[in-house]
Amino acid sequence: MNMASVIPQGSHVDDMDGHGEFKLTDRDFRFIAKRIAEHAGIVLSDAKRDLVYGRLMRRLRALKLTRFSQYCDLLAQDDGTEMEYFVNALTTNLTAFFREPHHFDYMQQELLPALIRQKSSRTLRIWSAGCSTGEEPYSIAMAVAEVMPEGWDIRILATDLDSSVVATGRQGIYPETRVQGMSQARLKRWFYRGKGARAGMVKVVPELADMVAFKQLNLLSDWPLKGSFDIIFCRNVVIYFDKATQSVLFDRYANQLQQRGHLFIGHSETLYKVCDRFSLLGNTIYQRVN
């Protein structure tokens, strides 16, 4: 996720020479920021006003509202239906196949061979937390399937707060532009090319789709998860949380990992002075130590 803003700190969308279609007051923005922080842990500074305006004005149009205050009133009385649209609008999902490739190289060259030697149960459990539209968990599935021997019970859980991107991931269908740069060997092995009305699209093969279970999940709520994981990916997610929330989240990840389990985080993230239950192996790869 990458919630970048293009409006200067302290600028007001509704003061832009009357160009704003809807009125977004300071009170409205504070309500919206408080709501998304309470529900999803996302911290919106005043510098995010332009992003908020741009993302939510579509909902105001769809609902035939004329002011953000009306939308805030709707959220205050919501039974949960509008909250889903609200959260989906304000979460940004920037992702790619084999993003931060050193993580997948480490998995294939170091981690998975070690697990093959060490695990007598012949089970492998991986969680992609913040899976976006599915490129990350399918990249994990490809990396795993290319290394693991037959006879292993392999399951990958893919979760995201945004229900719309979870649905996209579950379909496993992408424009061909999304797989540019991937080797021809991988493309041939792991994707079907679309024809006719589906020309220009690719779809993951059933072998990959069967490895991944997509679920909608709020990381700040209860986790209805069974068992523990060998590996957790949580990349470019916690940068939108404050340090206190990050600390709680990483502690929960440690509890969900097996002893000596591995955690992969984003290139701009760190556990330094956030959680002491992991040891840094290098390149944003951590191992649970307690």
Domain 101-288 has CATH 3.40.50.150: yes
Q: Is 186 a catalytic residue?
A: no
| Assigned fold of 13-90 | Chemotaxis Receptor Methyltransferase Cher; domain 1 (1.10.155)
pLDDT at residue 19 greater than cutoff 70: no
pLDDT in tens, 37-47: 888 777 888 88
Exposure pattern of 59-94 as b/e (b: 16+ CB <10 Å)? Answer: bbeeeebeebbbbbebbeeeeeeeeebbbbbbbbbe
pLDDT cut 70: percent of the chain above it: 92
In whole angstroms, what is the distance from residue 143 CA to residue 284 CA?
18
CB atoms within 10 A of CB 154: 16
Edge to edge, what strands does the sheet with 201-204 contain? Answer: 173-175, 201-204, 191-193
pLDDT in tens, 54-73: 889 988 998 999 999 999 99
pLDDT at residue 210 greater than cutoff 90: yes
Q: Any idea where the domains of the chain sit in the sequence?
A: 13-90, 101-288
CB atoms within 10 A of CB 133: 24
Q: Is 160 a catalytic residue?
A: yes
CA 187 to chain centre: 24
Pick the catalytic residue from 14, 28, 125, 160.
160
Write down the pLDDT at residue 17.
Answer: 29
Termini Cα distance of the chain: 29
Pick the catalytic residue from 35, 49, 55, 235.
55
pLDDT, mean of residues 76-89:
84
Write down the pLDDT at residue 241.
Answer: 87
* Sign of the torsion angle spanned by Cα atoms 255, 256, 260, 261: negative
User: Are 96 and 135 contacting, i.e. CB atoms less than 8 angstroms apart?
Assistant: yes
In whole angstroms, what is the distance from residue 188 CA to residue 185 CA?
5
Say which residue, 1 or 286, is predicted with more confidence. Answer: 286
